[in-house]
Amino acid sequence: MAFVFTDDNAAQEIASGKAVVIDFWATWCVPCRRVTPIIEELAAEYEGRVLIGNYNVEDGNDLATEYGIRNIPTILFFKDGKQVGERMVGAQPKSEIEARIKELL
């Protein structure tokens, strides 16, 4: 199951140093609904190796503001407490997201 990132827990999880993948989304966003099942699958497949989850921009806004999220879905990748690589904006196929996750490992 995908982790639920919030303004209260995101900074701590990112700072932990482990590989982290955050999907910024909203319930009303149609492309987000296409990405959500992919995030769920990847979270299960990489459980224990990469923390993968969702951040609902309607439930919180601090993290989205901090990282300049202007379009959703947007996926950010973190390792060793820092954002790595470029963000993925828009609905992406599982293969593209998974390739970026493998780069974190």
Annotation marks residue 29 as catalytic = yes
The residue annotated as part of the active site, out of 10, 22, 29, 75, is 29
Could you tell me where the beta strands, DSSP code E, fall in the chain? 3-5, 19-25, 50-56, 74-79, 82-83, 88-89
* 3-state SS assignment for residue 53: strand
Annotation marks residue 38 as catalytic = no
Query: Do you know the residue count of the chain?
Result: 105
Q: Which of 41, 57, 56 is nearest to 2 (CA)?
A: 41
The residue annotated as part of the active site, out of 2, 14, 21, 32, is 32
Q: Kindly list the catalytic residues.
A: 29, 32
